[in-house]
Amino acid sequence: MKLGTAEAEPGEIATGYLSVTELPTGQPEHVPVVVVEGEKPGPTVWATGAIHGDEPTGMEAIHEFVDRIRDDPLEGTVVCVPVMNPSGFRTNTRTSYYDGDDPNRYFGLEGGDGETPPRVQQLICDRLYEAIRPSADAVISLHTSWIATYPYTIRPRVSYGDHRDETEATELRDRLVELVDAFGLPVVNQFGHDETTQRSLQHTLTGAAIADGIPAFTPELGGRFVVEKDVCEAAVVGLRNVLYALDMVAEPATPETRFELPADTDLKRLVHPHTDTAGIVRYRVREGEWVEPGDAVADIVTPTGERKTEVRVDHRGYVLSRYDRVAVYENDPVLDMAVPDDEPLLLNRSN
């Protein structure tokens, strides 16, 4: 397989760069690529990191993962893009600096908006996705969340209707469930359909791949800015176990640390609760804790330390993240939660 300047023959690993646009100062903007070509043919798995530039754990997990599968007989191909957003990576920010865009909202958009040509970030995403789509049998888009985060995998919903029949969608869902389970982190379903659309999450890399029938998911590897070693290790093991589930390697790996959020039902993402009062947030809970409706999860205090109000939850579920700031305005979110899911993973979108 050849990708950019990386060309690997069977049994080889090649590294190189894929040019995605040109910088005003004359250099190419290119993303690093690693192609691991198995001795024998088989599925092609893509693993990507740092589409948000301040989320380095996926990149490090990819580096370590490639190192560990180096000497194993592999059937199929693993293609890694450790840094999908080089400009955000250079500036340690989520967005790219060309126009301040979130790159992970530009996949599968196709074309510009009438008279306005697409911005450079969309062109870059189009070029990346043109490389990914034709070959991918699975896509793992590695991310991190807020600093205080319990690791988990976001499992996207799969729909059927005019675009895809129910049998195909069921097969895609089953494959997705299998691969997400193999990855091994706690599973949290994507927001409900309306919230997903409102947040343009159908245009994440994972969202676009799912729309094209490719199993894809989004591990959230703990907090941003720093590499949490135990979570990174879990991701290295998870990547290998996805290959094992696809019969690409002979042996699975065993995680050193097991991250678990046991529940008697599927969980889904929910940004909840929000504070109705501005002030300084003082948390009473932390990531990984279970809360019940009515529990006070935070106090809002004044700058001189007096309590103004309490913030309570309306749902039972796990705290996934505390937000990484203490100053809050009216209606700012206080937690990301995993709550019992009230929507199916397989959605009927036919009218």
Length of the chain: 351
* Count of residues that bind Zn ion according to CB under 5 A: 3
Q: For Zn ion, which is the closer residue by CB, 37 or 220?
A: 220
**Start-end of H helices in the chain:** 57-69, 86-91, 120-132, 166-183, 193-198, 205-211, 229-245
> Residue 310 CB, nearest distance to Zn ion (Å)?
30
Q: How far is the CB of 91 from Zn ion (least distance, A)?
A: 15
Residues between 122 and 161 with contacts to Zn ion, criterion CB under 5 A = 143
- Enter the DSSP assignment of 115: T
Q: Is 203 in the site for Zn ion (CB under 5 A)?
A: no
- CB atoms inside a 10 Å sphere around CB 61: 28
52 binds Zn ion (CB under 5 A): yes
Nearer to Zn ion, 143 or 175 (CB): 143
Between CA 179 and CA 300 the distance in angstroms is 41
Placement of tokens 């990507």 in the chain: 48
The encoded tokens of residue 91 equal 């500036």
Give me the sheet containing 296-301, strands edge to edge: 307-312, 296-301, 279-283, 327-328
Residues 212-241 that bind Zn ion (CB under 5 A): none
Cβ proximity to Zn ion: between 143 and 203 the closer is 143
Q: Is 269 in the site for Zn ion (CB under 5 A)?
A: no
Q: Smaller CB distance to Zn ion: residue 55 or 341?
A: 55
Query: Judged by CB, which is closer to Zn ion: 186, or 219?
Result: 219
Report the nearest approach of Zn ion to the CB of residue 155 (Å): 16
Range in contact with Zn ion (rule: CB under 5 A) among 37-45, 53-61, 264-272, 290-298? 53-61
Closest CA to 142 of 235, 255, 76: 235
Relative orientation angle of helices 57-69 and 229-245, to the nearest 10 degrees: 50
**Contacting residues toward Zn ion, per CB under 5 A:** 52, 55, 143
